[in-house]
Amino acid sequence: MLDARIRPWIDGPLNRMGRKLAHHGIRANEVTAFALAMGVVAAGMIAAGLPGVLALVPLALSRLADGLDGAVARATEKTDFGGLLDIVGDFAFYAAIPLAFALRDSENAPAAAFLLASFYINGASFLGFAIMAEKRGIETRAQGEKSLYYSAGLLEGSETIGFFVALCLWPEAFVGLAMIFASLCLFTTAARLVLAWRLLR
């Protein structure tokens, strides 16, 4: 919901940073790998029971790098494999944080499982819609230049990052926050299916 509004504010700085990284020989796939590595570090800190606020540093680095890999690719060369690697890295990161909270405290496990299931279902609707849009030649740049059709929804990347930040700040509220966010993910899936029914009939 917020990605399209935030994009005009962050594209300029990200593209400038991306050009600088590319000038120094850093490749987009390396930035993607760094983003995932920092996400795993954040998840590891959470699972180990460290104060959640400490995990915000690698989490922030992870999401900054996730924004920069596309900027580096635009400054050098965009590849289909790079786009795939970016998507896989994002989904791995989104899975790692709920899993970390389940490992942190067994009482979190049912809510974490529901959250992961909602991510899985929502991800299926997102990628399935992208495949059908590609098949029909439907394009959009509302969320910036992407390697595949990016269908908007109530919950997007910005909201998910904000949610993870909230979990790190208030880990004791994980169960309630996870149940709410998972329910909103399923609502996003339903809304995307309604949109698909209208566009793809």
The predicted-structure confidence for 104-146, as pLDDT tens digits, reads as follows 999 999 999 999 999 999 999 988 888 888 787 776 655 545 5
Could you state, in order of their start, the residue ranges of all structural domains in the chain?
3-200
Structure tokens at 168: 């790190």
Structure tokens at 126: 């997102």
pTM listed for this prediction: 0.85
CB half-sphere exposure, 110, CA atoms < 13 A: 4
What's the fold here for domain 3-200?
Four Helix Bundle (Hemerythrin (Met), subunit A) (1.20.120)
Residues 6+ apart with CB under 8 A from 128: 196
* pLDDT interval class at 192 (50, 70, 90): confident
What single string gives the DSSP state of each residue in 98-123? HHHHHHH-GGGHHHHHHHHHHHHHHH
Burial of 167 (0-12, 13-18, 19+ CB in 10 A): buried
